[in-house]
Amino acid sequence: MDRRKRFARIAAALIAGLAMAAPAAAQTAIKVAEGSHSFTVMPVYIAMEAGYFKEQGLDVELVTMKGGPAAASALMSGDVDIAVSVAETPIKTRSQGKDLRVIGLIQDKNPCVLVVAAGSPITSIADLKGKAIGVTATGSLTDLILRAYINRLGMNVADFEIVGLGSGATVAAALERGQVQGAIAVTPFLTRLQMDNKVKVVYDFRAEVYPGQAVLMRGADLGSPKEQAYRKFVAALVKGAKALYADPALVAKVGRSSFPDMDPKVLETMIADETRTHPIFTRDIAFSREDYDALTDTLLKNKLIAKSEKYEDIVVPMWR
C-alpha cells in the first residue's frame, strides 16, 4: 500500500477515535433523586430520552425514592447532587438550619381535584363535614391542599376526618369501595376514575397557582465547580419543558417508554388533560417571585412555617 495512503488511513482512524472519545470524556455525571416515578417529573424524562442532557455534556442518573421527603433527605446527605421534590421543602427546612435552594420549577399549577363517588349526593366540601376524605399521607401535597381549602372557606379542619392512605392508587381504591366519602385525587388515578365515570368533581384546583415539583440543590454547592453542571442541567430541563407543550409526538413516545405498564388510553388522556385541558407544568422552569409569595402565604396561613423566607435566600434563577 502506498505510504501516503497508509498514513492518511491511520490519521483518519485516530481522528475518528478521538471524536468518539471526546464526548464521553466531556460527560459530567449527575445523580438525581425523584420522589416517585410519576408524570409530574415528565420534563426530566423528556430531557433524558431526547438527549438534551447529553447535549449539555451531562450523564444523568435518575434514582427513584419513596416520596419527596426521601429525595430531599438524599440531597441533604450528599447521596445525590440534585433532587426533584416540592418547592416548599427549602422554605420549611431553612428554620432547621438546612440550606437547600430551588433552581427551577417544574409545576406551577395545582394538580389536585376533590372528588366523590359518581352516585353520591355530596355537592360541596360542606357536605363532607364529619365524613372521611382520603389523601395520600399526612403532610403530603394532597393533605396540604385539602386543609388549605377548608381553612380558606372559613371552616374547621377538625370537622372533617382526613385519612392518609399511602398512595394515589389506595386513595382511588378506598373511594371506590366506600371506605372514604371524598378524596383528593391526582393523575393517573383521577384519569382512570373519570374515564370509567366513577367520580364526580366537587372542586377542581388545577386552575390555581401552586408551585409543586421543583429542582433542588444544596446551597453549599453554589460557587463550587458543580454549579456550572447544575446550570447545564436546568438548561436541558428548560428544553424538556418546552417540548412538553410543543412536541406531542415526542411526549407520547417518552410517555410510553416511561410508563410501559399504563393503559395506553389512560396515558393518552392524562397527557392531553395535563398539557392542554388543565396544563399544570411551567413552560420555562421559571419560579417567579409572585408564585413564591403565593406559596409562602399558603404555608403561613396553614401554620406549616413560622415565618417567611426571602425569595433570594431560597430561589436561584438558573433558568435565565
| Contact yes or no for 113/206 (Cβ under 8 A) | yes
Mean pLDDT score, 127-147: 89
* CATH class of residue range 113-204: alpha beta
All three cell numbers of 82: 440534585
Angle at 118 between CA 117 and CA 124, to 5 degrees: 70
- Considering only 16-25, 143-152, 198-207, which range has the smallest mean pLDDT? 16-25
Answer yes or no: is pLDDT of 266 > 50: yes
Mean pLDDT score, 306-314: 95
Instruction: State residue 168's pLDDT score.
Output: 79
> How far is Cα 49 from Cα 290, in angstroms, rounded to an integer?
32
Instruction: State residue 139's pLDDT score.
Output: 75
Q: Do domains 27-109+210-314 and 113-204 have the same CATH topology?
A: yes
Tell me the average pLDDT of the chain. 89
Top-confidence residue, 3 or 70: 70
Instruction: State residue 304's pLDDT score.
Output: 86
Torsion-angle region of 109 (φ positive above 0: left; ψ -120 to 50: alpha; else: beta): beta
How confident is residue 55, by pLDDT bands cut at 50, 70 and 90?
Answer: very high
One-letter amino acid of 60: V
Phi, psi of 245 (to 5 degrees): -100, -25
- Considering only 21-30, 113-122, 137-146, 181-190, which range has the smallest mean pLDDT? 21-30
Answer yes or no: is pLDDT of 197 > 60: yes
User: For the chain, which residues make up each domain, given as ranges?
Assistant: 27-109+210-314, 113-204
Answer yes or no: is pLDDT of 4 > 80: no
Question: Is CATH 3.90.1150.10 the classification given to domain 27-109+210-314?
Answer: no
Phi, psi of 207 (to 5 degrees): -90, -5
